[in-house]
Structure formats: C-alpha cells, structure tokens
Amino acid sequence: MEFKKTKIRELHANLVSGNITVKELHDQAHKAISVNNKSIHALIEVYTDTPHTFGEHVLSGIPVAMKDNILFKGKKVSAGSKMLENYVATYDSKIAEIFNTIGDHVVGRANMDEFAMGSSTETSYYGKTLNPLDQSRVPGGSSGGSAAAVAAGMAMYALGSDTGGSVRQPAAYCGLVGLKPSYGAVSRRGLMSMASSLDCIGPITHCVEDAEIVFNAISEYDPLDATSIKPEDRKKYQEKNSNKKVIGVPRSFLNREGFNPQARENFEQSLSKMKSEGYTIIDIDLPTIEHALAVYYIIQPAEASSNLARYDGIRYGLSEQGEDLIESYKKTKTEGFGDEVRRRIMLGAHVLSSGHHDEYYYKAQALRKVITQEVHDAFTTVDIIATPTTSDVAFTFGEKKDPVAMYLEDIFTVPYNLTGNPAISIPSGINSEGMPYGMHFTAPLFCEKKLFEAGKDFERAII
C-alpha cells in the first residue's frame, strides 16, 4: 500500500484485519530509504530495530520519522549541529513517552536546519536535504528532513517542530499537510529549545485526517512542562467557538512585493472553492500583522541566544580545550556552531544588550501583544483566517543568498507563533512546473478541530 495513496486509519484497519503486517510496512519504508535517502538525504540516522508487533492505538505499527531535536533516551540526537554530533539523550521527551506507549515505530532521525534555524535545511551540519519533488529545489525548513522523508515514502508521517513556520513551510513545499498546534497543546519537554515562547511540535502528514489523528495522540497535558495548558483551560477556549463557516482574509497583509502572481491566483482560486463548500469569505483588517516578522526576528534570536548559552563544552556536547575557561568556551562555540546559529546568537546579544533592549526587545514584546489582540479580536467575527503558506513554491538551492531574503520565507506563518494560535498548511494545487502551493488556515486558540473541519472541506473542494 503506497503511503501517499492511503490513510493512517486505513493502514491500521489493514494491520488489524491481517491484510498487511508491521514488518511489511517497515520493509516498504526501508526500501524507500535505501532507494532515495542517499540522494534526498532526509534521514541522518536510520533505525532497524523497530518491533514487528503492534498494539491497539491507531498509530501503533505505522512508520514515523522524528526530527533530530526530539529526545529518545539512549538514542543520538544532534539538532543538525556539530555541537551535538555524538550526544546521546539522557532522558525521554514527553513525545518519546507517548510513542513508547503506542509502540516505538520510529524509522529514523530526520535532518533539519542547525538548531532549527533556517527555512531550507541548508544549514544542517550533516549536509542539505533535497526536495523529493524536484531535487534542484529545497524541501523547506527547518523540518525539511521530516517533510522530505514523508514525501519520499520513507515514513507514513513525521514529527517536526515549528518556531516560525518550520513545520508548515516544508509541508507546503513538499505537497503535504503540516500542523502547528496551539502553543501549550503539545508538551515541549525533551524538545531542544530554540525560542521557548514560540516552539511547537507538530505533525507532517499526507492528509488532514492523519494530522488530526497524530495531533490527538500527542496533545496530552504534561505537568512537567510549565507551559503545557491544562485540559479544563483548553475547554474554556473551545466552548466560545462554534463553526459558522466564515473565513477572514487579511487583504492588506497580502499586498506585498515578492508574492508571486501565480501563487496569488492559486490562493484566490482556493478561496472560491471554499465558497462553493458553503463558506463565507470576508476581508478582515489586522493592522499590525505586517510587523510580525520584524517582531519575530527580535524575540526569536533573543530567546535562542539565551537557550544556546548552555552549549559550553562542560556538561555535554562538543568540548574544545583552550588555555583558560573563557578560551575553551570560545573554541567550543566557534567549532560547534555554524554560520546561521552564530548570526542569531550575536543578533540576540545585540537586541538584549543594555543599550538596546528598550528599543528592540521591549518594543517587540509590546507589539507581540498588540498583534495577539488583533488576531484574537478577528476571531469574534470569523472562524478561520486564511492566507497562503508561502509567497511562492519551493525555491532552488542557493537562490536566497542574503539572510533577510531567507527570513522573509516565513512572512505568512510567523504571526501565529507570536500569537500562539493553531495553524495548518494544506496542499492547494501545483504551478506550471508541477511544484505545490499551500493554503494556510489559522483558528482560535485550542480550536484545532475547526482547522480539521475546514481542512477536510478544503481537501474535498480542491479534488
């Protein structure tokens, strides 16, 4: 059963009825790995010790690829960095605990931009990942290995992490569904921190129904993550929201340079198709959202530079010895961190420095609140906010040379990491070269259900 032509529920039913075995599913994944991984380079480590048994859970026995920043005790995990090349996880993430209960059917560690900093998976110390749909193009990032593994049939689905679009953008570029859950819905315990107030773990799948199944499995409250939201509090948000099928489009935000006309046409056609599914499309005004990316590029480096200070060569990871302690720190960090990570650590140091934190960090925090309020207020009149996932299809290697051009990749996805809202990217057709576009839906906090309902309607509408 070809992974992309089936659904998780269908595979599970076939496992239960005995039509297929877990071994056959994994053999199929490993065959795709042996044929494609050498060229695509989606997985940086392949596991061959997965059990051949399965349990009751619908995900049990189904091959999954795991981004290289989620800890499984006793297994290597490197965040795509030389700094952690030989690091072995000393504890289980909440995700690992969940998957150990379901039955650990992880096929391998998926490549990623170093410490999740990037939009193309080009910054990985272990080499770039290619887009399986066109190998001259990037798979997106930072969860590019996760998306490429699914697109190339090496796994039925994958987990990634999304700090500014790192699940949704690669999903869009590889023709897949990518979900960033509400902040606080999925535990971050054991996910290597990049920017703690923005990081979310989410699934990359072939269809919305599969994303819903994976989300339901991983969205457990975790008392060991202080930012995990309790079920009773999630419910308060859900009670306020009934689906009246109204989609809001922030028009002024879309009128920007660099939005490819073909991509715009695809987006408009997608909206018309939702109209034919009974949705009302209205324009909404989110006046401050155009500043979201600038806000993000202050808050994210600030948090990342603080989080990455821990890699000092003393407790774990790479350790280079210098004449004294300071020299050892410098040698270790210089040797262990790649170009983009260094750039963001220095940017973080700059925006947090005593002379600048008022104009940068505090201003960005204040604007983050304003953007959050505007999005929150928009949901009093609409159920879903729709934009494209990206301004164009996957770009070719080396196309984005300067950092700002790369950062602009996340223009449409970043706002909802700042606000915490759940968001999903769903394939919305292809361009004249056969490369996929993504439709991006956002819903009120903890209303992932609305994304799944609208998402399934959308999938039906575009067939």
Q: What residues are annotated to the active site?
A: 67, 142, 166
- CA dist 99 → 12, 180, 275 (Å): 16, 19, 39
- Shortest CB 230 distance to other proteins, Å: 7
- Shortest CB 439 distance to other proteins, Å: 25
- CA dist 129 → 64, 122, 149, 292 (Å): 18, 7, 10, 28
297 or 437, CB closer to other proteins?
297
- Shortest CB 111 distance to other proteins, Å: 23
Rounded-to-integer distance, Cα 445 and Cα 234, Å:
8
Widest Cα–Cα separation across the chain: 70
Q: What are phi and psi of 236, to 5 degrees?
A: -55, -40
Rounded-to-integer distance, Cα 159 and Cα 174, Å:
14
- Shortest CB 260 distance to other proteins, Å: 21
3 or 337, CB closer to other proteins?
337
Which strands make up the sheet holding 43-46, listed edge to edge? Answer: 43-46, 106-110, 64-67, 157-162, 200-205, 177-180, 423-430, 436-442, 384-388, 246-249, 280-283
Provide the b/e sequence for 61-72 (b: ≥16 CB within 10 Å). bbbbbbbbbbbb
Residue 427 pairs with which residues in a beta bridge?
A: 438
Where does residue 196 rank: exposed (0-12), middle (13-18), buried (19+ CB within 10 A)? middle
Per the structure block, which two tokens stand in for 138?
């990037």
87 or 126, CB closer to other proteins?
87
129 or 228, CB closer to other proteins?
228
56 or 323, CB closer to other proteins?
323
- Shortest CB 159 distance to other proteins, Å: 23
